[in-house]
A and B are shown apart, each in its own frame.
Chain A
Amino acid sequence: MARYVIRRLLMALPALFGLIILTFVLSRVIPGDPAATLAGDAATPAMIAEIRAQYGLDRPIIEQAFIHVRQVLTGDFGKSIFSGRPVAEEVIQRLPATLELTFAALFIAVLLGVPLGLLAAINHNGPIDHLVRLLSVGGLALASFWLAIMLQLLFAMELDLLPLRGRVDVALGLPPRVTGFVLLDSLIAGRMDLFVNGIQHLILPAITLSLPGLATIARFTRSGVLEVLQKDFVLYAKAVGYGRFRLATIYVLRNAVTLVVTQIGLLFGALISGAVAVEAIFDWPGLGTYSVQAIISADYKALLAVTLVVGFVYAAVNVLVDVAQAVIDPRVAEDVA
């Protein structure tokens, strides 16, 4: 298993290096002049030129690329050319908010998606199956910004059940920062009121973000379970008289879960990218809103850092998923070896 994990880690390295180069190229082709933006509304061409020189933006592009790779490898993302603050600090400040939202969405997607997929499969072509399939298609087709606004109108404005925006009530304020995750930090601070308030704020954005993932997981669970139901050992289990619930949850689901775990790895990336729109609408101060501001202001340093950090997180999650698969099904590691 250790060799398998090491092999997986080594395989991630070229991808990460490629990501460093790719993000640099992409960041330089986005429209806008960061020096002009930084100089501000009343700047003269001379001021803009001075800033361009100060940030090395006047150097040949290849030289800038080499400097960039060296800086990233030493963990130096430079300063945001817009706020003047170290980009790493800003990203670290914002990353937990995005991760908290993404994990919550993933939790909802798995919590509801797996049982729905299971129900659909064991009711193959029945009314529940049709309903779940309809929901799956809807979940994938619905635009997240539309759903977000509808949820806000219903649960915050009409029913007054949930808050509209932000991570906690303004009057309560954030808990002392330890991890940056509001829920964890609230518990660490012993503030149950903040914890509950944080959950309340998390529900609507997490549901909005989870829907496409939920639909995907339900579909994959359904097809995985349907496949397993055709296996001989299931026929045998039925023959020896196992109850349907036990059969479905212990025998069938366990064998179908490998497929779902693979999907979780892929979904994680989709959820983080989906967080851009959801964060903007729910005013969630994570990397999504940070990216939007960086794009509008052509803050390429910030964009580079966000893309790299998300890429690293995505790679790490995928390595974890691969390991989890190997733990669930040791044949996976043996096949690779």
Chain B
Amino acid sequence: MSLHSRILRLMAGAVAAMATMFFAPASQAQQRPLVWGDTLPATLDPHAIFDVPSQFVLLNAYDGLYRYQGNPPQLIPWLAESHSTSADGLTWDFTLRAGIKFQDGSDMTAEDVVYSFRRLLGMNRAPAAAFSPVLRPENVTATGPRTIRFVLSRPYAPFLAAIPLVAIVNPRVIAPNVANNDWGAAWLAANTAGSGAYRIDPANYQTRVSMDLARFPGHFMGWSHLERPIDTVRARPVLETSTRVLALLRGEIDATDSYLPTDQVERVERNARTRVARDESMRVFILRMNNMKAPFDNRDARLCFAHAFNYQGFNEIILKGLVVRNGGPNPNNLWGNPPDLQGYNFNLDQAKQYCDRARAAGAPIGREIEIHVQSELEQTVQAAQMFQADLRKIGINLRIVTNTWAGITAATTQAQTTPDMWVHWVSTYFVDPENWIGQMYDSQFHGTWKASAWYKNDQVDELLRRARSSLDQAERDRLYQQATRLVVADSPDIWVYNTLNLRGLSRRVQGYNFSPVGSGGELRLMSLSN
């Protein structure tokens, strides 16, 4: 036997042995728990961070006094059975339902709610932002075993709308794990202390890699609404979009995130065992302009840019019509929007006229304009590329700068460092125009990423402040409509679309119920068909 054939035979033998041993159909059907493929938050502590992934933990492992459900989202009493407000809007009383148990079996009392709010305000992290300007820790008190009183320092109408942000935690579980007055934050980052419908298994938890949940049979809302609730859930986020889609098609996960790329929708729908849930959300796609930097300190220059974006081309062709045109800062499907509000149209001739006018007024239209995109979010890049091509036709040089969310938001703390333009979405943190127009265009929020247009209009500020403090819903609606008209007329930003959330789902998942708050991740409503 020749030398070559001996070496080749040895290699072939090794490969064949490995193949016999290890290559077997890998997707043999077996009863699986629900495998959730959406992103996990960086920490399990519901008072430490507030972003879209953290809502999954908040909705499933914890409960709040009120909760948003459905689409458009309805605010429904959850841990609380009712609430009342004083005439001046300063005192809010909530009554807890009777018989609520935490996952450790202990009873939930009004003192636990007080502890939770004081912990939130004491830690002073993101979820506290909605409350800290109007609520001091000592002004949250238990007035009875099941009644809690909040006394605000000034009337704040979105208070109730923001209440679902706050998870009620179990102080008896946290107390032994407090170190260096940290409110137990280091411990709670990888553990839970809630009353939610699902219990997280800390032993198998790995930050942003895996989280196992088991149904909590003693959940206060009960399980009679489902014949076969899901007992076990394994959250396994898939980092790469292509792998995430393949994993769904192959049956390795049962749900993708809710930002399925539009070019994958058809593919997922073609597969016999998968589908795409399409739901109009409340997540507005925006191209920001820094109104304190020339040329965007000139209204005509801003209008020039607003008319140079090809809304229809982007929404209908690039995103295949899977979004809804949104001409203003608030999502279309929210109250507080003028019913006849028209967004700007793509018209390069008109854009050029505005640019000429701005140039005549001394605006440096000819300078290179930077637009920062988020490298990991392809749509931000696509929007910038399309805009760049159209602006070039009217002699404007747009330079695309690749950045990250962390990089951009860090720069938006000052007007000088905020990019000329940047691209992002504003998601639903609470369902009130305050979440969008209120925090984006009231100049008191300058220095936050939401207000990074650095827009300043005293009349708008006044309207938004009145809307924030009024308890008359009709008046609030009118004030927000007025403010919206003024803001749109000033064109501080370019509002493109309201998101249609696209989540790839296995067909065995039943009862998926989308709400813009939580993006349909409420497991308690779901069941499996096999």
Residues in chain A within 8 A of chain B (CB atoms): 31-34, 36-45, 47-48, 50, 79-80, 82-85, 90, 93, 111-112, 115, 118-119, 122-123, 128, 149, 152-153, 156-157, 160-166, 169-171, 173-174, 196, 199-200, 203, 244-245, 248, 280-283, 285, 289, 292-293, 295-298
Besides the known contacts A83-B189, A171-B30, 12 further A-B residue pairs in the complex with CB atoms under 8 A apart: A33-B409, A42-B50, A42-B130, A47-B129, A93-B206, A119-B8, A152-B243, A162-B23, A166-B236, A171-B31, A244-B3, A289-B239
In the complex, the answer to whether B22 meets A33 with C-beta atoms within 8 Å is: no
In the complex, the answer to whether B21 meets A196 with C-beta atoms within 8 Å is: yes
Name the A residues within 8 Å of B24 (CB-CB).
161, 200
In the complex, the answer to whether B51 meets A41 with C-beta atoms within 8 Å is: yes
Q: How far is the CB of A87 from chain B (nearest CB, A)?
A: 11
Name the B residues within 8 Å of A40 (CB-CB).
48-51, 125-127
Q: Is B247 located at the chain interface by the 8 A CB criterion?
A: yes
In the complex, the answer to whether B252 meets A164 with C-beta atoms within 8 Å is: yes
Q: Is B447 located at the chain interface by the 8 A CB criterion?
A: yes
Q: Is B403 located at the chain interface by the 8 A CB criterion?
A: yes
In the complex, the answer to whether A37 meets B409 with C-beta atoms within 8 Å is: yes
Interface size class of B (residues with CB under 8 A): 35 or more
Interface residues of B in 412-450 (CB under 8 A from A): 413, 427, 429, 445, 447-450
Name the B residues within 8 Å of A80 (CB-CB).
42, 207
Q: Is B234 located at the chain interface by the 8 A CB criterion?
A: yes
Please give me the residue from chain A that is nearest to B374 by CB atom.
A296
Please give me the residue from chain A that is nearest to B34 by CB atom.
A170
Name the A residues within 8 Å of B486 (CB-CB).
none
Q: CA separation between A171 and B29, bound complex, in Å?
A: 11
Q: Is B389 located at the chain interface by the 8 A CB criterion?
A: no
Q: Which 10 A-B pairs have the closest CB atoms?
A: A40-B126, A33-B410, A32-B406, A31-B407, A298-B406, A45-B447, A84-B189, A32-B407, A285-B209, A42-B129
Q: How far is the CB of A297 from chain B (nearest CB, A)?
A: 5
Interface residues of B in 32-46 (CB under 8 A from A): 32-33, 35, 42-43, 45
Knowing A42-B130, A118-B7, A283-B239 touch, does A36 contact B413 (C-beta < 8 A)?
yes
In the complex, the answer to whether B26 meets A156 with C-beta atoms within 8 Å is: yes
Give the interface centre of A82, A157, A170, A289 by most chain B CB atoms within 10 Å.
A170
Q: CA separation between A130 and B85, bound complex, in Å?
A: 84
Please give me the residue from chain B that is nearest to A97 by CB atom.
B209
Q: How far is the CB of A199 from chain B (nearest CB, A)?
A: 5
Interface residues of B in 117-172 (CB under 8 A from A): 124-130, 132
What are 12 A-B contacts defined by CB distance under 8 Å? A33-B411, A36-B406, A36-B449, A40-B51, A43-B448, A44-B448, A80-B207, A84-B48, A119-B8, A160-B27, A161-B24, A285-B209
Identify which of B26, B32, B186 contacts A162 (C-beta below 8 A).
Answer: B26
Q: Is B225 located at the chain interface by the 8 A CB criterion?
A: no
Name the B residues within 8 Å of A118 (CB-CB).
7
Please give me the residue from chain A that is nearest to B188 by CB atom.
A84
Identify which of B7, B51, B130, B406 contacts A296 (C-beta below 8 A).
Answer: B406
Q: How far is the CB of B121 from chain A (nearest CB, A)?
A: 12
In the complex, the answer to whether A32 meets B410 with C-beta atoms within 8 Å is: yes
Q: Is B79 located at the chain interface by the 8 A CB criterion?
A: no
In the complex, the answer to whether B406 meets A37 with C-beta atoms within 8 Å is: yes
Q: CA separation between A13 and B407, bound complex, in Å?
A: 34
Q: How far is the CB of B397 from chain A (nearest CB, A)?
A: 23
Q: CA separation between A121 and B130, bound complex, in Å?
A: 71
In the complex, the answer to whether A296 meets B125 with C-beta atoms within 8 Å is: no
In the complex, the answer to whether B126 meets A47 with C-beta atoms within 8 Å is: yes
Name the A residues within 8 Å of B449 (CB-CB).
36, 41
Give the interface centre of B21, B238, B410 by most chain A CB atoms within 10 Å.
B410
Identify which of A84, A128, A281, A292 contacts B243 (C-beta below 8 A).
Answer: A281
Q: Is B190 located at the chain interface by the 8 A CB criterion?
A: yes
In the complex, the answer to whether A161 meets B23 with C-beta atoms within 8 Å is: yes
In the complex, the answer to whether A31 meets B403 with C-beta atoms within 8 Å is: yes
Q: How far is the CB of B272 from chain A (nearest CB, A)?
A: 14
In the complex, the answer to whether B6 meets A245 with C-beta atoms within 8 Å is: yes
Name the A residues within 8 Å of B252 (CB-CB).
163-166, 170
In the complex, the answer to whether A297 meets B406 with C-beta atoms within 8 Å is: yes
Identify which of B35, B190, B239 contacts A280 (C-beta below 8 A).
Answer: B239
In the complex, the answer to whether B51 meets A84 with C-beta atoms within 8 Å is: no
In the complex, the answer to whether A31 meets B404 with C-beta atoms within 8 Å is: yes
Identify which of B33, B125, B190, B450 contacts A39 (C-beta below 8 A).
Answer: B125
Please give me the residue from chain B that is nearest to A297 by CB atom.
B406
Give the interface centre of B21, B32, B125 by most chain A CB atoms within 10 Å.
B125
Q: Is B246 located at the chain interface by the 8 A CB criterion?
A: yes
In the complex, the answer to whether A34 meets B129 with C-beta atoms within 8 Å is: no
In the complex, the answer to whether B240 meets A283 with C-beta atoms within 8 Å is: yes
In the complex, the answer to whether B3 meets A122 with C-beta atoms within 8 Å is: yes
Q: What 1/0 flags go to B182-201 for Cβ under 8 Å of A?
A: 00011001100000000000
Name the B residues within 8 Å of A152 (CB-CB).
243, 246
Q: CA separation between A186 and B192, bound complex, in Å?
A: 29
Knowing A42-B429, A43-B448, A160-B25 touch, does A296 contact B250 (C-beta < 8 A)?
no
Q: Is B376 located at the chain interface by the 8 A CB criterion?
A: yes
Name the B residues within 8 Å of A293 (CB-CB).
208
In the complex, the answer to whether B3 meets A157 with C-beta atoms within 8 Å is: no
Please give me the residue from chain A that is nearest to B15 by CB atom.
A112
Interface residues of B in 307-331 (CB under 8 A from A): none
Q: How far is the CB of B413 from chain A (nearest CB, A)?
A: 6
Knowing A47-B126, A111-B14 touch, does A285 contact B409 (C-beta < 8 A)?
no
Identify which of A44, A112, A199, A244 contacts B129 (C-beta below 8 A).
Answer: A44
In the complex, the answer to whether B33 meets A171 with C-beta atoms within 8 Å is: yes
In the complex, the answer to whether A84 meets B186 with C-beta atoms within 8 Å is: yes
Identify which of B50, B207, B407 contacts A90 (C-beta below 8 A).
Answer: B207
In the complex, the answer to whether A157 meets B250 with C-beta atoms within 8 Å is: yes
Identify which of B23, B32, B126 contacts A42 (C-beta below 8 A).
Answer: B126
Please give me the residue from chain B that is nearest to A285 by CB atom.
B209
Q: How far is the CB of B335 from chain A (nearest CB, A)?
A: 21
Q: CA separation between A119 and B409, bound complex, in Å?
A: 56
In the complex, the answer to whether B409 meets A36 with C-beta atoms within 8 Å is: yes
Name the B residues within 8 Å of A174 (CB-CB).
204
Q: CA separation between A84 and B130, bound complex, in Å?
A: 22
Q: CA separation between A275 and B45, bound complex, in Å?
A: 30
Q: CA separation between A152 and B240, bound complex, in Å?
A: 13
Q: Is B268 located at the chain interface by the 8 A CB criterion?
A: no
Please give me the residue from chain B that is nearest to A247 by CB atom.
B3
Q: Is B11 located at the chain interface by the 8 A CB criterion?
A: yes
Q: Is B242 located at the chain interface by the 8 A CB criterion?
A: yes
Knowing A40-B50, A285-B210, A289-B239 touch, does A295 contact B32 (C-beta < 8 A)?
no
Q: Is B517 located at the chain interface by the 8 A CB criterion?
A: no
Give the interface centre of B4, B127, B204, B207 by most chain A CB atoms within 10 Å.
B207
Name the A residues within 8 Å of B14 (CB-CB).
111
Q: CA separation between A171 and B212, bound complex, in Å?
A: 11
Please give me the residue from chain B that is nearest to A173 by CB atom.
B204
Name the B residues within 8 Å of A112 (CB-CB).
11
Q: CA separation between A293 and B209, bound complex, in Å?
A: 11
Name the A residues within 8 Å of B17 (CB-CB).
none
Q: CA separation between A164 and B26, bound complex, in Å?
A: 9
In the complex, the answer to whether A161 meets B25 with C-beta atoms within 8 Å is: yes
Name the A residues within 8 Å of B186 (CB-CB).
79, 84-85
Interface residues of B in 338-363 (CB under 8 A from A): none
